[in-house]
Structure formats: structure tokens, C-alpha cells
Amino acid sequence: MMIVQKYGGTSLGDIGRLRSGARRAAELAARGHRVVVVVSAQGDTTDDLIAKAEEINPRHSKREMDQLLSAGEQISISLLAMALEKLRIPVISLLGWQAGFKTNSQYTMARIKKIDTERIRGELDRHRIVIVTGFQGIDRKGD
């Protein structure tokens, strides 16, 4: 059975919570489940990035704001993957485009149009936990 979990910012807010999330995912995998974890940025990361952007340029473009905010999720997937690696659990982290998330081009409000599941399924077939960024995808222009 495939289980998809979503870990929000608070549940990854510090090292202890990251390790706890890793243990939860590892326990599911140990029970024979195929596990995909979708993560948000840690704690107040998104709010901190928004505040910095507003301070630097209150009239920033929506595209650049999306670029900035996606960094928070990238930090989370890497740290959670490292926590699972420490537990000796096979894992891979994937950015939205690597996971096959195709979106429209409406910056800050993009919607998923299609998910190409080939990469995720391939990694699950290799018995890896797959950790995917939330808030990310790729449009037809490659953004």
C-alpha cells in the first residue's frame, strides 16, 4: 500500500521534529508501505523569507517570490532525507519538477495540471522513501 504523508512547517520546525518525522516515515516503510512524504518549509522560514523580500523590494515580481519561497521546501526535503539516511533508510528527495509536477504559469497561485508519476513510482520500486517538495512544479516554459 502507498501512503502519502504531508509534513507542515511546524512538524519540521527543529531537529527533534525532523528526526521524529523521519522515524514515522521509517516505521511505515518497515511495515512494508511505499512512502511518499510531501514537505513544507520549516517553522517560520516562509514568513522570514517574505519579510526579507518586502524589505528589499516591496514591488517584487511574483515569479521571483515563487523562486525565493521554493527554497524553504528544498531545505526541508534535504534535511528530512539526511535524517532518514542516518537511520539507514533508503531515501531520495525530489524537487517538484523532478517528481513530475506540471503546473500552469500563474505565479504565487499556480495549480497542478498533471503529475507524471514515472519517477516517483520508479523510486518506490527501488524501495526508497520519496520526499517531495510542496509548493513546487514546472510550467511549459520551464519555470
- For 68-111, write each residue's pLDDT tens digit: 999 999 999 999 999 999 999 999 999 999 999 999 999 999 99
> What is the pLDDT at residue 91?
98
pTM: 0.93
pLDDT of residue 74: 96
Query: 63-69 contacts: CB < 8 A, separation 24 or more?
Result: 63/107, 63/143, 65/107, 65/108, 66/107, 66/108, 66/110, 69/41, 69/135
φ, ψ at 113 (rounded to 5°): -100, -35
| Average pLDDT estimate for 107-127 | 96
Is 59 in a helix, a strand, or coil?
Answer: coil
What is the pLDDT, as a whole number, of residue 39? 96
User: What was the pLDDT predicted at 62?
Assistant: 95
